[in-house]
Chain A
Amino acid sequence: MPAVLFRSPNDSAEAWRQSLSERIPGVDFRAYPEIGDPADIGFALVWKVPPGFLKQFPNLKAICSLGQGVDHIFADPELPRGPHIIRLVDPWMGRAMAEWVLLQVLRFHRQGMEYEELQRRREWKPLPAPETSTRRVGILGLGALGAEAATTVAALGFDVAGWSRTRKSIPNVTSYAGPEEFDAFLARTDILCGLLPLTPETTDLMDASLFARLPKGAFVVNSGRGGQLVEDDLLAALDSGHIAGASLDVFRTEPLPAGHPFWTHPKVQVWPHVSAQTNADSGADQVAENIRRVFAGEKPINEVDPDRQY
């Protein structure tokens, strides 16, 4: 059987070696830099490897991302053509992401920012109670993660809609589809949650023009990719008061550089890209199944279309 290559700056090689060995006895697992003969490698399990790294394996049949996103793979200008590109769709990640999105929605809805400030000022001041049924949450992107977040938020009584390229049917979630319905989606959204994959079409999507189409006082949440947000435009919209605040988990440069204005902005909450982590145990079932399929010449699950890049 061909070998499985592992390389990631933030995932544990030992945890993955163990979970895959339990599922595929005798798997030839090679953690970078102990690659051995590059011709042995048939399956690459990677996260953010340097450009040009993947072209050295002549017998590579599949490249599997260690996360939901595959933009880090397509960012490689020398990416070999031919191997299947696969992403991890991990049920644990969907739940973790839904939790994180719900936290941001509830914090804004329940006036968390105001109460945190009142506590700092030692001021006892009950604010008018917020009405849930008229609070409009908009999920940008209704893939596996977006759909689960939308369902979770809707279950708590919010008015939830989602926008995606194609129409979706999700109970209690209004579906807006395509560019022609984008303005209507934004106009009805008080809390915008970005959960899109990074593609050429979504790069810089969250810019001044998008913020201007949201109602005044809207809140912006992004846990898609940093490249979708034009950071200076968000700062301008926050400072003008049109956008009330933002919770961000992803940034154009990560780690967010010291001295970046987001770190000290009172209306921005910076999260260190922790909204949904891949878990070796729950992701391993899917990776093991795909290794089996690819080596048997079958089509893998969760394959990405290289033209659409998701």
Chain B
Amino acid sequence: MGVILVHVAGDDSAPWAEELKRQAPELDARGLDAVDDPAAVEVAITWKLPHGLYRGFPNLKLIQSMAAGVDHILADPQRPAQVPVARVVDPWMGRSMVHHVTLAVLRWHRRMDWLEELRAGPTWPTGVVFDADAVRVGVLGLGHLGQAVAKAMQGLGFQAAGWSRSPKSIDGLACHHGPDGLRELAAGSSVLVCLLPLTGETAGILNAGLFELMPPGSLLVNVGRGGHLVEADLTAALDSGRLAAAALDVFGTEPLPKDHPFWADRRIYLTPHIASEINPVTATRAFVENIRRVRAGEPPIGLIDPAKGY
């Protein structure tokens, strides 16, 4: 049996290796430092393994991402093309994402940002009515997470619709696709939630051209990747009032640099990439199953198509 490499960039990999051993004591799980024979590495479970290292493992059977996204793996130009790549499919992460997006939408819908102004007065408005019918949520990306978010929004009585690159049909959900579909969705949405994979086609998709189709006072929620958003366009849309608020969990550079203007922008709810934080116990369960599968010659769960990028 080969070595299971566990690597988490910028963090301690040991707790992950330990959880893997706890659930499957027979596995030989190791951190990068403990790998003495690169030929022994059979599966690599990674978050941002330094580029160029994958090709040094000649007997690799699976690259398992520790995230719902695989962009950190596909970005390695020397990645061995024949090795399958899988993302995490974990219902726990779906629930976390649903909670994060619901909180972001409700903060905007019930005008939580406004409480600071009231406190400064203090003032006490009367006759305020929040129009739930005006909450129309457009979800970009209709994978597991996107579908879970769209269903949750409908469950709260909000209108929801979705968009994906290629045509999709989902029971009870209006689905748009392609460039024209994207414009239709934006025009009909007061909230856009980005849950797309980051690919050559989706980079920079959240830009001025998209924002200006939305009704004034709208909300942007980015829980995809920082590379989806043109940052300067967001600030301009907030200044013009096209967007009233944004909830950002992902950024072009993470951690977000201390001097970045987003930190002090009161219209932005900023969180440090925690929307669907991975749960070591449930995610490890998914890793153990995928190790079993590749050893048995079965396709792993969450297998991605490198040509599409997701």
Contact = CB atoms under 8 A, between A and B. Distances in A.
A32 interface: no
A96 B157 CA distance: 10
Contacts of B157: 95
Range of interface residues on A (Cβ < 8 Å): 35 or more
Contact of A99 (B124, B129, B156, B264): B156
Interface in B99-132: 99-100, 102-103, 106-107, 109-110, 112, 115, 118-119, 121-122, 124-130, 132
A263 B119 contact: yes
B289 to A, nearest CB: 21
Nearest to A158: B99
A297 to B, nearest CB: 35
A271 interface: yes
B173 interface: no
B274 A127 contact: yes
B119 A124 contact: no
B214 to A, nearest CB: 22
B274 A272 contact: no
A277 B129 CA distance: 6
Nearest to A121: B263
B116 to A, nearest CB: 10
A126 B274 contact: yes
A156 B156 CA distance: 10
A180 interface: no
Nearest to B111: A274
B299 interface: no
A125 interface: yes
Nearest to A92: B132
A102 interface: yes
Interface in A239-285: 254-256, 258, 263-264, 269-272, 274, 277, 279
A132 interface: yes
B99 A119 contact: no
A129 to B, nearest CB: 4
Contacts of B130: 96, 99, 274, 277
Which of B121, B126, B256, B277 has the most chain A CB atoms inside 10 A of its CB? B126
Interface stretch (A19-27, A62-70, A107-115, A195-203): A107-115
A308 interface: no
Nearest to A118: B272
A274 B124 CA distance: 10
Nearest to A255: B124
6 contacts: A99-B106, A107-B112, A127-B274, A156-B102, A256-B124, A269-B115
Kindly list the 7 A-B residue pairs having the minimum CB-CB distance in the complex, ordered from nearest: A255-B124, A124-B255, A129-B277, A103-B106, A106-B103, A122-B263, A10-B126
